[in-house]
Amino acid sequence: MFWERLTTKAFREQVLGHVDTAILPTGSVEAHGQHCPLGTDNIAPAQFAQRVEALYPERLLVMPAIPYGHTWDLAEWPGTLSIPGEVFGRYVAAVGQAAAGWGMANVVILNGHGGNIGPLTTAMEDMAEHGARVVLVNWWLDYREDILRVVAGQGHAGEDETSVMLAMAGSWVQMEDASFNPLVPRYRIKDTGLASRHLRHATTGDGRGGTREKGEQIIALVTERLKQLLEDLWADRLFDRSPAGS
């Protein structure tokens, strides 16, 4: 089910007392190389959420996405809309708290943007204090091992993300403008003068190797992982036992 498509009567009859798990997609509007759409980080989590909802239409509620995120590093590129991290985090927390108030005991934040991770971690704590059990999924990070079985490398508008966009929104991708950024930072550093180097062409990695076929494989792998996450959440299988444990 999709939250925004329900009437209040349908919500009362179909959700209250029946559904306790919601997916909240979060992303950003920002430059993704010169070839991928500005909404790449929104398109991916929204479509992943749709695919998982199709597997559990009576048990899962997909919330309207939060499309604007914290993207300081790319703020200079045309079309990027960056929201201060503290503003973004407070907003997400308030949305999650409101969902918990309507019985969403489990909130899965399905995030598509790296700059959101810090604010989302703080938001998770605020939501948990208001009664929600919160899971954060950063799909390109959490499922990195799976993704690297399909592509040679990852990056911002790199091979993995470009492939996913070709599979999800191929008509919006301009592969003739795809590029390669050979620079890899040695340190975690912020400096207003480094963006044009670290994010040359608004890219990290190599987007030129992206294909629709690779994207479809990544989508299948991520969807399966999200399915497993939900099954574990509902069964309270939240921890692995260490091999050294008793």
pTM: predicted TM-score of the whole model, two decimal places: 0.94
pLDDT digits (tens, 9 = 90+) for 159-202: 999 999 999 999 999 999 999 988 887 878 777 766 666 788 89
**CATH number of domain containing 81:** 3.40.50.10310
pLDDT at 194: 65
Does residue 27 sit within a domain? Answer: yes
Does residue 186 sit within a domain? Answer: yes
- Which residues of the chain, if any, have pLDDT below 70? 193-197, 245-246
Q: In angstroms, rounded to a whole number, what is the distance separating the alpha carbons of residues 211 and 213?
A: 5
pLDDT at 240: 83
Does residue 140 sit within a domain? Answer: yes
First-residue to last-residue Cα distance in the chain:
42
pLDDT at 235: 93
Range of the domain at 114: 3-235
pLDDT at 188: 80
Domain count, the chain: 1
Does residue 246 sit within a domain? Answer: no
> Which alpha helices (H) appear in 79-211, and where do they start and end?
85-101, 117-128, 139-142, 144-147, 159-169, 195-198
The torsion angles phi and psi of 69, rounded to 5 degrees, stand at -130, -175
CB 14 within 8 A of CB 6: yes
Does residue 243 sit within a domain? Answer: no
pLDDT at 192: 72
Does residue 184 sit within a domain? Answer: yes
